[in-house]
Structure 1
Amino acid sequence: MTRLNHQDKAKEFDKWILWKQEGDKDAELDLITRFLPLVTKVANKLAIGLPNTVDKDDLISFGRFGLLDALQKFDYTRGLQFETYAMWRIRGAMIDGLRENDWIPRTVRDKAKKIEEAYIYLEQKNMRTPTDSEVCEYLGLTEKELQQVLFDTSLASMVSIDESVGDEDEQKTARHTYLVDELTPRPEMIAESNNMKEVLSKTIDKLPEKERLVVSLFYFEELTLSEIAEVMNLSPSRISQLHSKAIFRLRSSLTRWKSQLM
C-alpha cells in the first residue's frame, strides 16, 4: 500500500466519519477496498513459515474476516494508524482459522508444549537461557531431532492476538490489548505493560546472535522469513527453527517474570 499525503489522509478520515457517524455504505466499501491488500500482504508473510499443505487462499479467506472485524472495532477518533492495528487483527484471524480447522496435528501441539516446558524448566533451574544441548539432554533428543521438532512446530509457536490470556480465576484479556490502546489504560496497566516490555527487551538482548537478528528483522523490520533467509544466507527452514527457539525463550522469561509477581 502506498503512503498517503496529508490531503489523502484527510479524505480517508472523512470516509471514516461518513461510515461510522452517518452509516454511509459507499464509504464503508471504499475503506474495505482500500485496506483489502493488507490481507494478501499478511498472508504472504505468514505462509512462508507454514507447511505446503496450507493453502494461501484459505489464509486470505480467514484474513478477510479479520479485516472486517478490525474495521468494525477501530476507533478512528484516536488518531492511530489503522494499518498497524489491522495487520495484527488479520494475522490473528488467520492463525485462529488454521487452529479451528485442525491444521496443526495434536502430535505437533504436544511436541511444542514439551519444548516450551523444557525451556521454562531449564530457565528457572539454571537462571539463564538454556543451550540447545541442554534442551536436547532434558528431552532425550538429538540436536537434529530438536531442529526438526522446532520446524514442525513453527505454526504452534505463533500466538493469536485475540486469544485470551490470564489465569482461570482472573479476568481474561485479549493479547491485542497490550499492543493497541483501545481504552485509556489504568496506571497499574501502564506499569505492568512497561515491566513486560522491559523483560522482553532484556531477554531479546540475551538471545543468541542469530535468534536476536531473526526477531529484529521479523518483528521490527517486518521482513518475511524468506527475505531474512537471504539476508542471513540461511535456508527458510533454518530461519523458522531460529524463530521458534526465540519464541520459546521469550515465553519462558515471561513465565518466570509472572511467577515472581505472585
Structure 2
Amino acid sequence: MITKELWIEYKKTGNLKLREKIILQYIPLVKYAVGKIIVKLPNNVEYDDLVEYGIIGLLDAIDKFDISKEIKFKTYALTRISGSVYDELRSQDWLSRSIRKVSKDIKKAYIELENKNGKIPTQEEVAKYLRINVKKINEVMAKVNLDNMFSLDDDLYDDSGGKTSLKELVQNNQESAQQKLEKKELKKILIEQIKELSEKERLVITLYYYEELTLREIGEVLEISESRVSQIHSKIVFKLRKKMMVNYSKYEGVVD
C-alpha cells in the first residue's frame, strides 16, 4: 500500500525504487480506466495500445501530484490517465466524426442561444434547441473531453487585428513588463468583473486557472458532478467575455 509517508519520501528524494513501487501499485487503475473507455470505441482499437497511453498519463500524474492538496492520488491519477488516452485517440483521429460534429453543434448552440436571449442557456435549453436529450450532451462532453469547450483561452477579440484572451489577463505572471503595462486597464476591468461573481464561481475560476485542477477534481472539492462544474465554468466565461467585449471598445489599441 502506498502511504502518505512514502509519497513524502518519494517527493523529497525522487528515489527510483519508490517510483517503481508507486507505478506498480496503480497499474490496475490504468487498466480500469482503459476498460471504461474501450467499450465506447470501434473494434479496431487495441486494448494494449490504450494501456500504454494510460501509463503515460499515470507517469505524468506521479510527477505532478501535489501531496499538499486535499485530493486523493487515485482521483487525480484517474483524470490524468483518461486524459492521456483521449489525447492520443484524438491525435490519431480514432474518435467518431459524428461525436466531433455534435460537440461543435453544442458549442454553436450555446453561443446562438446566448446571443438570441441575452442570457446563458441551460443544458436543457441547449438540448431542446438541438433536439437531443441532456444525457446525449453529457455523453459527448465525456467522450471528447470538452472541459474547455468554452475557455478563457479562447481569443477575446478577433476583428481588430490584435487579440488576447481572458486567461492572459487573469494569469499573466510570465508576461514582460511592457505587455503587462499594455493590458493593465483591461485587467483592471476583468478583476472588477470577477469580484462580482458568486463565491462558488470565483472558487471555480481560482481552482481551474490558478491551481490548474481539472473540472472533475473541482467537482470533488465542491462535492458536485463534473458536468455541473462544466456548466458553471461555461456560464462564467460567457459572462466575463460578454462584459469584456462591451468595455473593449474603450481601450482599443491597448492589446497588441
Indicate the TM-score class for this superposition, using the shorter chain for normalisation. Answer: 0.5 to 0.7
Aligned residue number for residue 74 of structure 1: 65
Aligned residue number for residue 95 of structure 2: 104
For residues 114 and 28 of structure 1, what CA distance do their matches in structure 2 show?
43
The answer to whether the 8 A contact 1:15-1:28 is kept is no
Aligned residue number for residue 161 of structure 2: none
Closer, same or farther in 2 for the Cα pair 1:24/1:52, shift >3 Å? Answer: same
Return the letter of the residue paired with 2:129. E
Aligned residue number for residue 167 of structure 1: 154
Return the letter of the residue paired with 1:135. L
2:109 to 106, 118, 122: 118
1:256 and 2:238 correspond = yes
1:194 and 2:200 correspond = yes
* SS state at 2:146 partner: coil
Aligned residue number for residue 77 of structure 2: 86
Identify unmatched segments of 5+ residues in structure 2: 156-163, 170-190, 206-218, 245-256
Closer, same or farther in 2 for the Cα pair 1:48/1:123, shift >3 Å? Answer: farther
Tell which deviates more after alignment, 126-135 or 112-121.
126-135
Aligned residue number for residue 38 of structure 1: 29
Q: CA deviation at 1:93?
A: 0.9
Aligned residue number for residue 129 of structure 2: 134
For residues 247 and 106 of structure 1, what CA distance do their matches in structure 2 show?
26
For residues 239 and 7 of structure 2, what CA distance do their matches in structure 1 show?
41
For residues 35 and 254 of structure 1, what CA distance do their matches in structure 2 show?
35
For residues 36 and 87 of structure 1, what CA distance do their matches in structure 2 show?
11
* SS state at 2:48 partner: helix
Return the letter of the residue paired with 2:201. N
For residues 17 and 247 of structure 1, what CA distance do their matches in structure 2 show?
31
Q: CA deviation at 1:31?
A: 1.0
For residues 51 and 200 of structure 2, what CA distance do their matches in structure 1 show?
34
The answer to whether the 8 A contact 1:96-1:160 is kept is no
CA RMSD of superposed structures (Å)? 4.4
* SS state at 1:166 partner: coil
For residues 247 and 221 of structure 1, what CA distance do their matches in structure 2 show?
6
Closer, same or farther in 2 for the Cα pair 1:35/1:123, shift >3 Å? Answer: same
Tell which deviates more after alignment, 60-69 or 151-160.
151-160
Closer, same or farther in 2 for the Cα pair 1:42/1:165, shift >3 Å? Answer: farther
The answer to whether the 8 A contact 1:15-1:31 is kept is no
The answer to whether the 8 A contact 1:59-1:94 is kept is yes
Closer, same or farther in 2 for the Cα pair 1:258/1:50, shift >3 Å? Answer: farther
Aligned residue number for residue 19 of structure 2: 28
Q: CA deviation at 1:80?
A: 3.8
For residues 73 and 103 of structure 1, what CA distance do their matches in structure 2 show?
27
The answer to whether the 8 A contact 2:57-2:77 is kept is yes
The answer to whether the 8 A contact 1:49-1:154 is kept is no
Q: Structure 1 vs Structure 2: percent identity of aligned residues?
A: 29
For residues 152 and 80 of structure 1, what CA distance do their matches in structure 2 show?
25
Greater relative contact order (Cα < 8 A, sep 6+)? 1
Closer, same or farther in 2 for the Cα pair 1:82/1:197, shift >3 Å? Answer: same
For residues 221 and 107 of structure 1, what CA distance do their matches in structure 2 show?
25
Aligned residue number for residue 210 of structure 1: none
Give the count of matched residue pairs.
188
TM-score normalised per structure 1: 0.53
**Residues 25-63 of structure 1: CA distance to partner in whole angstroms, max 9, x if unpaired?**
221111111122221222223334444444333322211
